[in-house]
């Protein structure tokens, strides 16, 4: 299972697919490769005029790969030779729009994009439509509040669990929810996977198989991916690029003046426009904490662009405590082979334990420790403490990863916690 598929599976296990009957009854949207809506008039006008332009890419591991993201930037540069294009790579594997909405300001908007592609349809596959609405609308509203001249484009990729619907001409439930947000704000969308689904149906593409032959065998079907999620750079990602190239004339043909985007009334009053990252204050932290140096080798250096301040709880008893007034909160942290167990206490609710390692943790990666997204807007107190108990790492790791534990036991021996900041929909209170 890939990092992207893991996000879907985790959401299912956490109840992410437990949508209401009304939500499940919403018909899936008919899949179109390109729905131009308001087009990209501001970006295209700027690109034709020349000058320095920035293209942002906010998404998961499919966008993080050396695939459609750099390929599309290179193609746009050829399409608009008078412009000087650079990218804002804000993709993090295994994450969805419910993290993207918190980090879009830090990872994208502060760099002042002229165009922003948003890709979360696969990683949001296990989320309820209402949660997708809140997050995607929050991304839109934050973007246009920061700069109403930034053009947006939603792009939808495909993974094996959603292939059958796409072959039948239907978007996944996640893409359907995103299309509803796109409708409301006249944001163009491109379904990058529609051509791949068509080729699977006609027998000219195998969606999941080993690496393609080099050179390809004459008459052999194209191989899209090795894992059913992440396209091969020279096959699946090329199909994604071709979808953008085919869609561009329709986006460019929209007869809209290159004017700033006016924010209309929200689709959902409870959207996550106010989502933000809040740094830890020293008063929140007690016990054995160490602030890591991003110039030194280790996780602080590896994740410096995403987590400018990274803290390490080095021994049991290290804790973070804070109070907030709002509706949603999480801790922006890492999962990894050295992860321990964090006790989560909120108000007078029963404490719960959160191991900071999962079945994939042969390496550290960005995650979030969810505290909840259904708070009542009142004041709530949170206490998070690294426990002395060690997680059963051999049991937690998937069977295929246990060999790494046996080969590198020292990597798994510590039981620490790496935490960066608070993800908050609300405000910290004394």
Which tens digit of pLDDT belongs to each residue from 347-361?
999 999 999 999 999
Residue ranges and CATH numbers for the domains of the chain are: 3-252 (3.40.50.1110), 276-429 (2.60.120.260)
- Kindly report each contact of residues 75-79 with a partner whose C-beta sits within 8 Å and lies 24 or more positions away, as own/partner: 75/241, 75/244, 75/245, 76/47, 79/47, 79/248
User: Which of helix, strand or coil describes residue 280?
Assistant: coil
Q: What percent of the chain has pLDDT over 90?
A: 89
Q: Cα 368 vs. chain centroid, distance in angstroms?
A: 12
What pLDDT score was predicted for residue 242? 98
What pLDDT score was predicted for residue 79? 97
Mean pLDDT, range 149-158, rounded to an integer:
98
pTM of the model: 0.91
Is the predicted pLDDT of residue 256 greater than 80, yes or no? no
What pLDDT score was predicted for residue 25? 57
Element (H, E) at 382: strand 379-386
What pLDDT score was predicted for residue 18? 33
Centre a 10 Å sphere on the Cβ of residue 306 and count the other Cβ atoms it contains: 16
Apex 186 CA angle, 197 and 426, nearest 5:
100
If one compares 375 and 5, the residue with the highest pLDDT of the two is: 375
What pLDDT score was predicted for residue 24? 53
CB 65 within 8 A of CB 2: no
What pLDDT score was predicted for residue 16? 31
Instruction: Give, in order, the Cα–Cα distances in Å from 414 to each of 59, 287, 393, 410.
Output: 31, 17, 11, 8
- Confidence band for 22, pLDDT divided at 50, 70 and 90: very low
CA distance 223 to 232: 8
Q: What percent of the chain has pLDDT over 70?
A: 93
CA distance 363 to 190: 33
């Amino acid at each position: 299972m890939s990092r992207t598929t893991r996000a879907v599976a985790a959401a299912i296990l956490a109840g992410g697919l437990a949508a209401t009957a009304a939500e499940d009854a919403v018909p899936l949207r008919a899949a179109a490769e390109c729905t131009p809506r308001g087009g990209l008039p501001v970006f295209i006008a700027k690109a034709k005029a020349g000058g320095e332009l920035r293209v942002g890419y906010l998404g998961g591991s499919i966008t993080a790969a050396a695939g459609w993201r750099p390929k599309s930037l290179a193609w746009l540069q050829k399409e608009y030779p008078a412009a000087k294009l650079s990218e804002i790579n804000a993709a993090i594997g295994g994450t969805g729009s419910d993290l993207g909405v918190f980090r879009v300001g830090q990872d994208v908007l502060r760099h002042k994009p002229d165009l922003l592609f948003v890709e979360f349809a696969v990683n949001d596959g296990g989320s309820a439509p209402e949660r997708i609405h809140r997050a995607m609308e929050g991304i839109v509203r934050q973007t246009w509040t920061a700069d109403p001249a930034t053009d947006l484009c939603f792009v939808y990729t495909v993974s094996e669990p959603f292939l059958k619907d796409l072959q039948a001409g239907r978007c996944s439930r996640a893409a359907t929810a995103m299309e509803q947000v796109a409708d409301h704000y006249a944001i163009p969308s491109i379904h990058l996977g529609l051509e791949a689904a068509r080729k699977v149906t006609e027998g000219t593409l195998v969606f999941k198989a080993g690496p393609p032959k080099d050179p390809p065998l004459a008459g052999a079907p194209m191989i899209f991916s090795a894992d059913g999620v992440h396209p091969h750079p020279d096959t699946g990602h090329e199909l994604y690029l071709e979808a953008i190239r085919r869609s561009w004339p329709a986006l460019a043909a929209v007869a809209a003046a290159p004017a700033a985007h006016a924010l209309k009334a929200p689709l959902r009053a409870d959207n996550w426009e106010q989502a933000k990252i809040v740094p830890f204050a020293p008063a929140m932290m007690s016990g054995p904490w160490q602030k890591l140096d991003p110039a030194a080798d280790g996780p602080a250096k590896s994740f410096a662009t995403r987590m400018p301040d990274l803290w390490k709880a080095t021994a049991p008893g290290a804790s973070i405590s804070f109070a907030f007034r709002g509706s949603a909160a999480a801790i922006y942290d890492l999962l990894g082979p050295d992860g321990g167990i964090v006790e989560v206490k909120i108000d007078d609710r029963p404490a719960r334990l959160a191991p900071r390692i999962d079945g994939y943790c042969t390496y550290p990666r960005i995650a979030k420790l969810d505290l909840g997204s259904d708070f009542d807007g009142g004041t709530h107190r949170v206490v998070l403490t690294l426990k002395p108990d060690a997680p059963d790492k051999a049991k937690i790791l998937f069977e295929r990863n246990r060999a790494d534990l046996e080969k590198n036991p020292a990597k798994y021996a510590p039981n620490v916690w790496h935490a960066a900041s608070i993800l908050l929909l609300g405000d910290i209170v004394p």
